[in-house]
Structure 1
Amino acid sequence: MNLDFYKSNNINVDLAVEARDIVRGQIGQEIPGVVVDREKYSNTTVTTVKIVEDYAEQIMGKPRGNYITIEAPALRDNSREAHQEVADVLAKKLSSMINLPENANILLVGLGNWQATPDSLGPKVIEHSMVTRHMYNYAPEEIKPGMRSVSAISPGVLGITGIETAEIIKGVVEKIRPELIIVVDALAAGSVDRIATTIQITDTGVSPGSGIGNKRTGINKDTMGVPVIAIGIPTVVNAAIIAQVTLEHFLEQIQNNQALVQLSQNLNPGLMQQAISQVLAPFGGNLTVTPKEIDSLIASTSKTVAGGISMALHPAIGAEEYTMYLN
């Protein structure tokens, strides 16, 4: 699929690694102003994409900054060891983005709708996160060296609260004055293989709802006044992408059948796009798909993400003590 397909279907690409692959395929070369680095672990592959120039920012549709992608197919498996490795890698990479003193005040924000399972990753992560800000006032004896002041909120979505998410967060920021905000949100992927197997960390913030076609006020350093790190996991894929990939695989399969080659030559991209648009017309072309086991995937991945965040923010707390501090 080329860049025109995404534009014509108004599909936003949340993952920087996917945006890079799409653009690179379109222009036929590496993107000027993009630096890529890869690391391999036993159960994970980490790709760091750095957007450092205006041209790359414009063509990829992503602001300048660092995008760390942790690819871990083992996240779908019921393997405690694999999930722990992913949490460790997440903690390591998140720590590399945090340049704060031990006494820093951090705000965790779980974006999303807790009433819609594919969109509930953020609130679920908050449920499992280690918050400590209240302890500084009411139980200072429980504070250990290496623990930071962490507070957390799940502000809901505009359709539930009637208030822009960014407005809620801004109000909290003005009251508690954190030095850093970490937001967690569900993402939209460009491949079904990435659902619940990929974690993206970026220091550019987030635009709530952008992956499903909504345009909301951004949550970033410009709007909040403090650095914002965003962590996300894909939970849905646009149906147009699935339809297009299916047609492309079908055309590849019939290339060896001479009787069908002529048919495939008549299936130009315009006809394929028209067929997809007609099928998705009842949904305005904006239909997203999620697996039926998304509830269990959200439950497991939210614990992994929460564990990685807590290890990064509270390096003195071991895994055996972590649960003691959960409400």
Structure 2
Amino acid sequence: MAEIEVNWSRTDLIDEAEEVVQHQTKQQKTKLDKTSGVVIEEFTEGRVKVTKVNVDKQGSEEIGKKEGVYVTLSVPTLTIEDENGFEQLEKSFVKYLDEIHKDVDIKKDSKVLVIGLGNKTITPDAVGPFAIDAMQSQHSDNPNDHFIMYAPGVTGQTGFETSDFIHALVEKINPALVLVIDALATRGSSRLCKTIQITNTGIHPGSGVGNQRTEVSKEVFGVPVTAIGIPTVVDATVIIADAVEKVFRSIAARVQEKEKPSSKLSVTSWTPDSNARVDLNVVKPIFGEWSTWSSEDRLQLFEEVLSSHPERLIVTPKEVDVWITKYSLLVSDTLFKWMKNRSK
């Protein structure tokens, strides 16, 4: 059996693709910033950080992402109990679903095929099937004739390519649009379960954990395909790098604070501000030169050192079951609201 090479440091989020380039030369990074093939807009709407990326053919070759439009919505401070954060995320989600589909003609009798990708028995991979369950439940109470919903399972369960199931449905139904919901991989722990990506470029099922499955896209099916993804897993190497970064910053902050008169007035244990600016040079005598490296360079070091380790781990939050439930309901509510607006 031929050995399959898995890129453990990969990401499914478009705005992290630029971070991958930063591991290469500064000249390449500058080239990416200046290229006309990749147009990046970053701004905030309330608590939601929005990144809009337009990639043409030239840009696709530069960053290794498909040509098309990508919108990434993230609430960095989001927690499970944060209803306000989820409400703001949903509001932006509806807005950019409208924007990315402005050229898709959905008539009164048009069908929209919604596919929930993933393995329902593996929680971090179950956001697609759970979203379909939530939509079917909502459809029972508030029917919408546009939607046709289906969760095909995974190749390991059915023995068939997911794209074959979808292709058969597309030929039978002839939908105006295919919406594909799936779990993604991220290269930043701060994005884990706090981000939604929308793209009209389609998706490779299972790509988040290194599986090579047939593409689900307009090029394959002949109808517009929009992928909706939520990052639920991250490489353990990223967690290690983030932990080391926090240790360095914490010690450096404590050393700097020790020199201030205010520290002598403290009557409780002092906790450094994670967002405060600190000079990592103060820990250089303790940990050496690498403590002053950039986060990207330090992450690359861990990836190189651990690349040959026989047990590379993919990590997910311990509350992932609650996150998946939250996002399945959010996706369901958003799609029904969006379609109701389109039908007016």
Shared fold (TM-score, shorter chain, > 0.5): yes
Partner of 1:200 in structure 2? 197
Residue 159 of structure 1 aligns to which amino acid in structure 2?
G
CA contact (8 A) 2:7 2:210 kept: no
Q: 1:6-56: CA deviations, max 9, x gaps? A: x995432100011123325642320511111234222212110111232x2
Partner of 1:174 in structure 2? 171
The structural deviation recorded for 1:256 is: 2.6
Unaligned runs of 5+ in 1: 1-6, 136-141, 319-327
Choose which of 299, 303, 308 in structure 1 pairs with 2:334. 308
Q: How does 1:282-293 map to 2 (within 5 A)?
A: 283=311, 285=312, 287-293=313-319
2:7 and 2:238 map into 1 onto residues whose CA distance is 9
Secondary structure, aligned partner of 2:151: strand
Partner of 2:86 in structure 1? 83
1:44 and 1:221 map into 2 onto residues whose CA distance is 29
2:90 and 2:52 map into 1 onto residues whose CA distance is 17
Secondary structure, aligned partner of 2:106: coil
The two structures, once aligned, show a CA RMSD in angstroms of 3.2
2:130 and 2:98 map into 1 onto residues whose CA distance is 21
Q: Which moved more, 1:72-81 or 1:13-22?
A: 72-81
Secondary structure, aligned partner of 1:216: coil
CA contact (8 A) 1:14 1:188 kept: yes
Task: Go from structure 1 to structure 2 and tell me whether the alpha carbon gap of 1:105 and 1:9 turns closer, same or farther (over 3 Å shift).
Answer: closer
1:37 and 1:316 map into 2 onto residues whose CA distance is 26
Report how many residues are paired. 297
1:148 and 1:95 map into 2 onto residues whose CA distance is 19
CA contact (8 A) 2:202 2:225 kept: yes
Unaligned runs of 5+ in 2: 253-279
Partner of 1:123 in structure 2? 129
1:14 and 1:53 map into 2 onto residues whose CA distance is 19
Partner of 1:322 in structure 2? none
Task: Go from structure 1 to structure 2 and tell me whether the alpha carbon gap of 1:131 and 1:36 turns closer, same or farther (over 3 Å shift).
Answer: farther
Task: Go from structure 1 to structure 2 and tell me whether the alpha carbon gap of 1:170 and 1:80 turns closer, same or farther (over 3 Å shift).
Answer: same
The structural deviation recorded for 1:211 is: 1.5
Q: Which moved more, 1:267-276 or 1:206-215?
A: 267-276
Secondary structure, aligned partner of 1:196: coil
Q: 1:196-249: CA deviations, max 9, x gaps? A: 101000000000111211110000011111110000010000113323444566
Partner of 2:9 in structure 1? 11
Task: Go from structure 1 to structure 2 and tell me whether the alpha carbon gap of 1:48 and 1:273 turns closer, same or farther (over 3 Å shift).
Answer: closer
Secondary structure, aligned partner of 1:35: strand
CA contact (8 A) 2:9 2:303 kept: no
Identical amino acids, percent of aligned pairs: 33
Partner of 1:224 in structure 2? 221
The structural deviation recorded for 1:101 is: 3.0
Q: How does 1:11-160 map to 2 (within 5 A)?
A: 11-23=9-21, 26=24, 27-29=28-30, 30-32=33-35, 33-54=37-58, 56-73=59-76, 75-98=78-101, 99-103=104-108, 104-129=110-135, 149-160=146-157
The alignment's TM-score, normalised by the length of structure 2, stands at 0.76
CA contact (8 A) 1:132 1:149 kept: no
CA contact (8 A) 1:75 1:301 kept: no
